[in-house]
Amino acid sequence: MSLGPIPLPLVLLVAALLVAVAVGRWAAPAHGDAPRLPVAGVFLDMLMVGLLAGRLVFVLQWWPLYAADPWSVLRPGDGGYSVWAGALAGLAFGAWRARRTPALRRPLVWGAAAGLASWAVLAGMLVVMQRAAVQLPTAELSRLEGGRVRLADMTGRPMVVNLWATWCPPCRREMPVLAQAQAANAGVQFVFVNQGEGEHTVRGYLREGGLQLRNVVLDASSAVSQQTGARGLPTTLFFAADGRLVDVHMGELTRAGLAQKLQRFGPEAANPSRSPDEVAR
């Protein structure tokens, strides 16, 4: 899921950028005494423009959810990007930069094609590897209300497994979002797996925060993090009804970011736009 504290999707993005720069420099004409073409700088600018455009389009798509918490727009770590909008914006910016510099056109075309292709291949490989390596953990966990349970025994409907701790600031910020989603999506089973803390600490946090959560379990030895390869908190895993991993997110989730991921389960399993008040009615 990560390379140390760095999420793997970011690592893949940097790798794709390096490929684009290397191929672009290879495709650039010999400069002789002329100044070297700024291939690396242009590709970096294309990436920044693409990320900004992808984020902007995603925010507009999910604006009703962001409007409830406008500051969440500034948390791009929720994974909220429009890939197609970002790619098109980056390519358009590259074309604009090359409009008056014909020598840039060939390296930009070759580099952009290589970078996009390498990103697609690496991202696909990552998905396949994660789905093959990450299974529902078999560790026995303690229910907050008493008793023992295994996540592997809770299949039968889509499941969202959130790994968290009370000392983790992003965990605390995203918890109301997850609590609201649990109340609004009866077709999805949310499980909150506390990592390494005791019952008294967890109960105190939930009581002070006024959080009404179901399926809070204690993982005193952090066995779930070890079995899933999670390197940081919070980490949220999304499993299909048959226990197959369909998505994973490392870091804080916003309402929009979570809603997008719940779409993987289909409209019959999730309705992220509903609030708890609407559910009660």
pLDDT digits (tens, 9 = 90+) for 171-207: 999 999 999 999 999 899 999 999 999 999 999 999 9
pLDDT attached to residue 131:
83
49-94 per-position pLDDT tens digit: 999 999 999 999 999 999 988 989 988 888 899 999 999 999 999 9
pLDDT reading at 210 higher than 60: yes
Please state the pTM of the whole predicted model.
0.84
Angle between helix 169-184 and helix 199-209 axes, rounded to 10 deg: 70
Hey, what are 117's tokens? 């292709």
The angle subtended at Cα 48 by Cα 43 and Cα 51, nearest 5°, is 125
100-112 per-position pLDDT tens digit: 889 999 999 999 9
Q: Find tokens 């019959």 and name the residue.
A: 268
